[in-house]
Structure 1
Amino acid sequence: MSLSGKERRILAEIEQALEREDPELARRVAAINKIESDGDFPRAYGDRLRRWVLAHVWMIFTAGALVIVLLLLAVLTT
């Protein structure tokens, strides 16, 4: 959904005020917007992030299964 002319004008005013009041924050916001608009983040980090998440999910699943097995053994042996 695109912004109306009035919304674009208000956004431009906010951006100009931010640049005047905090140029460092404005620079950081511009850098983040550039990364998101270029699409570099998903390509550069997507596969590595996906593997990291998958590895951790499997570790949590394995630890949970181990806890369940140990609890069952404790209940069955008493």
Structure 2
Amino acid sequence: MVIAMSLSGRERRILAEIEQALEREDPELAQRVAAINKIEGEGNTFPQAYGERLRVWALAHVWMIFSIGGLLIVLLLLAVLTT
């Protein structure tokens, strides 16, 4: 659960100073943090896409297990009936 709280003017200024220092000292890390903030600001689109892929993957594997199980049953019945 995320609780949104507004920052005071002083806190916003301090945060801006920290961000500027990070951009100067480690621009690559600053870009990564900005990318994460962008994803979170868009309503967590990445986890939804990942969840959809995971659901499709799981569904495909369930169908594969049932298909193999059905094939084994048919093969066992054929083996029993032909002996």
Shorter-chain TM-score bucket reads 0.5 to 0.7
TM-score by length of 1: 0.57
Write out the 4+ residue segments of structure 1 that deviate beyond 3 Å after TM superposition.
Answer: 46-49
Structure with larger Rg: 2
Structure 2 counterpart of 1:42: 47
Distance 2:41 2:28 in 1: 20
Give the alignment's Cα RMSD to 1 decimal.
2.2
Q: CA deviation at 1:36?
A: 0.6
Structure 1 alignment gaps of length 5 or more: 52-78
Write out aligned runs for 1:1-78 (5 A): 1-39=5-43, 40-48=45-53, 51=55
Higher helix share: 1
Q: CA deviation at 1:44?
A: 1.7
Aligned residues: 53
Counting aligned pairs with the same residue, the percent is 86
